[in-house]
Amino acid sequence: MPRTSTYEVVLDAGMFTPAQMQITAVGRLGFQAGTRWVRDHVCSHRRLVTEHRVGFVLWSWQLEYEKPLRFDDADAVTVDVGAQVRGPRSTQLEFETTFSGPEGVAVRTRATSVPLSLSGDSALSGAPAVLPDSLVAGFLPDEVVRAPHRCQVRALRAAFERDGDLLVADTDPLPTFRIHRHHCEVADQWYWAETLGFGVGAREELVRRHGWRVPELRGALSDGIRRVDATWLRTGQLWDLIQVRTHAHRHGTSIAFVHELELVGDSGGPYAIIVERT
């Protein structure tokens, strides 16, 4: 039976918008949950990096708000997290995390990372690698899945462009965000959970600019978001200036916001793509 780590997190007002748990707060708590599972059952994050020289870069992340959970609803949530190695050559590590309140599971996340073989320098430089057999051995047989996770973000973006109605596309000046150290992890590279906030900020700016002529956009602020799908393609560094290019589509009964995070002045393609749906 796959193992889980279960514990309680006390809630505070800084974790919430008026409508729901903040997306960035969920990302941070989810990362902490995965780190806790690895420590409990395989090897601590610190030892992975310093002794085994194994790092992980997040590639794909999904969030689903399953039930309402606002600040007034609970003093704490119960966090349950499980993990599995994925891919025919153990090239992915995936965590599924739930946050449960009085009415049951309120928030669910899935995070899929790619292992790196670290060089040992202070920048935590590394190259994609398979997870070493010595670490795979720490997983139970039913925690090892040979089928790889397949990220759906690009397919979602294509479906919105093909089948949806474009409501608005943000134009210059695009919202920009400078990467400061409070956005980074220990190696002065952006911390993925903080980049979710760049997408949130771009959505709010889009609604602020265009909500007066496209009123249906306003629900993305008053009612919140139902689902987030994100992928990280390149790594932002300390002091980089990131711009966010956002398109809003009507797709069925929901509004989809597609955010492309780009380095200002760089034409090499997006660093990350974040899709938010109401």
Statement to judge: residues 235 and 272 lie in one domain: yes
The model carries a pTM of: 0.97
pLDDT given for residue 202 in this prediction: 97
| Structural domain for 34, as ranges | 4-145
Same domain? 122 vs 193: no
Both 101 and 220 in one domain: the answer is no
CB neighbours of 70 closer than 8 A, spacing ≥ 6?
16, 18, 19, 20
Per-residue pLDDT of the chain (278 residues; tens, 9 = 90+): 999 999 999 999 999 999 999 999 999 999 999 999 999 999 999 999 999 999 999 999 999 999 999 999 999 999 999 999 999 999 999 999 999 999 999 999 999 999 999 998 888 899 999 999 999 999 999 999 999 999 999 999 999 999 999 999 988 899 999 999 999 999 999 999 999 999 999 999 999 999 999 999 999 999 999 999 999 999 999 999 999 999 999 999 999 999 999 999 999 999 999 999 99
Number of structural domains, the chain?
2
> Can the peptide bond before residue 173 be classed as cis, meaning omega within 30 degrees of 0?
yes
- Tell me, yes or no, whether 75 and 187 share the same domain: no
Q: Please indicate, yes or no, whether residues 180 and 272 belong to a single structural domain of this protein.
A: yes
CA dihedral over 122, 128, 132, 136, signed as positive or negative: positive
CATH number for the domain spanning 203: value is 3.10.129.10
Same domain, 91 and 213: no
